[in-house]
Amino acid sequence: MKHSRFIFQSRLLALIFVLTLTMPVLATDGYFSLAYGTRSKGMGGAGVALAGNSLFGVSNPAGNVRLGTSYGVALGLFSPDRSYTVTGAPTMPMPGMFPPPFGLAEGKVTSENKLFPMPSFAANFMLDEVSSLAVSLYGNGGMNTEYNAKTYYAQYLDGPVMPGGMNPMEGVTSPTGVNLMQMFGAITYSRALSEKWSMGVAAIAAVQSFKATGLQAFANFGMSENPGGLTNNDQPFAGGIGGKIGVLGQLTKCLSFGATFQTPIVMGQFQRYTGLFAEQGKFNVPATWNAGLAWQPNEKFVVAFDVKQIFYSSVKSIGNPMNIQALMPYMMGETGLVPNPSYVGLGNDEGSGFGWKDMLIFKIGAEYKVAPNSDVRVGFSHGNNPVPESEVMFNILAPGIVENHITAGFTQHFGNKALDFAFVYALNKKLTGPNPMDPAQTIELQMSQMEFEIGFRF
């Protein structure tokens, strides 16, 4: 019996590993997931101060020792709606003008791909009465856009307007977009320090993949230090490692506290995109911290409040702003075009990125036991949009701008087993800013999302 169960678990783990690697994973706290685990999603992502409110050890590794030997599997269906709208006619270039205005085609373009499955798995094993070991596989986050258009294409520049008679629009392809996927695997050790307090640590192994298409114009303008490593280079993988530490305890009979810190996940380079991301293709996962309180006045009702921060600006490929003056390899001098002494191309250590700011997120959720075997949940999450108005040009590719989420959830218990449901709606968010390469135009980014997840604990 135990042998059959081990075979089943091993096959399930392998299946989820393959599915997670091959499915685009999207998210809502910037490009991070709103929450990890069906119960936590139903409460707006809150619950770092509640043992067992997420996938084992993912939100807070300190809580696993309170759960006993148990398993969990979940499948989410994620449906994002993202688009961009360009307003204003492109500026006509004047003879001898350099750099010429890079005006995008007017109109609204909506991204393809509307439904993404997201599997996850976790298991917790008690080592003795005061310690446990857990394993988990889950999608940390990502971003996907696919615009059926030549987004970065200026029809007035489709000719020999560059030094040497080069055409900056030559070879621009459709579709335009990116596909970033991140999968984490964690091994978590949790230990009770006393009857009321516990702590935990997790070793995290990460795998991510990335693909970009339709960015040839930036290479043709000379904006990349490695034009061959900028776009349309399939989807390479990169790996990395990091860690997480957490603490969980009772402050009073009704009030608990939890806190975690996750280190930066140091990733290997995307070797095929060394001409796109700063630091020659580096795309590390930023550090995060999370702290929260949970108030449970009785066995039927609990309210949780979390604060989370994601340090996007610490990763140069994400946080560096777009610098138009530094991106152009030439500038106008008294005698014509001369090399730009301030040139810093894409792929350089200080090369332009997406300009994301750090993100501070507040999450609140409540759970109520409506019947002996039935729980209902609601939640709300608010985070500051990490994308400044000045960075809309590049962020057509990654419009992670949503700020507010409304969530709901439900659990039905069957003895020591439970079936969990969660629904997440990210309210529609728009962000408008200037086209930095053609000030006569404005670019509006739009994004909203829905997600439904079902989980089974046993």
Nearest C-alpha neighbor of 317 from the set 378, 397, 374: 397
pLDDT average, residue stretch 272-281: 95
Q: Which tens digits make up the pLDDT trace of 204-240?
A: 999 999 999 999 999 998 999 999 999 999 888 999 9
The domains of the chain are located at 2-457
Q: Report angle CA 11, 17, 23 to the nearest 5 degrees.
A: 130
Q: Is the pLDDT of residue 307 over 80?
A: yes
Nearest C-alpha neighbor of 235 from the set 215, 213, 263, 214: 213
Count the neighbouring beta carbons within 10 Å of the beta carbon of residue 68: 12
pLDDT at 314: 97
pLDDT at 116: 86
Count the neighbouring beta carbons within 10 Å of the beta carbon of residue 306: 29
pLDDT at 8: 47
Host H or E run for residue 10:
helix 2-22
pLDDT at 348: 95
Nearest C-alpha neighbor of 194 from the set 147, 241, 247, 149: 247
Q: Is the pLDDT of residue 83 over 50?
A: yes
pLDDT at 54: 66
Q: Which two structure tokens, joined as six digits, stand for 90?
A: 């492109």
Question: What's the CA gap between 207 and 22, in Å, rounded?
Answer: 11
In whole angstroms, how large is the CA radius of gyration of the chain?
24
* Total-model pTM: 0.92
Q: Is the pLDDT of residue 6 over 50?
A: no
Q: Is the pLDDT of residue 50 over 90?
A: yes
CB 227 within 8 A of CB 219: yes
Q: Which tens digits make up the pLDDT trace of 308-322?
A: 999 999 999 999 999
| Confidence bin at 26 (pLDDT 50/70/90) | low
Question: What's the CA gap between 358 and 230, in Å, rounded?
Answer: 26
Q: Could you tell me which CATH number the domain at 2-457 has?
A: 2.40.160.60
CB 25 within 8 A of CB 208: no
Amino acid sitting at position 81:
D
Nearest C-alpha neighbor of 63 from the set 262, 199, 225, 195: 199
What is the SS3 assignment for 262?
strand
Q: Is the pLDDT of residue 146 over 70?
A: yes
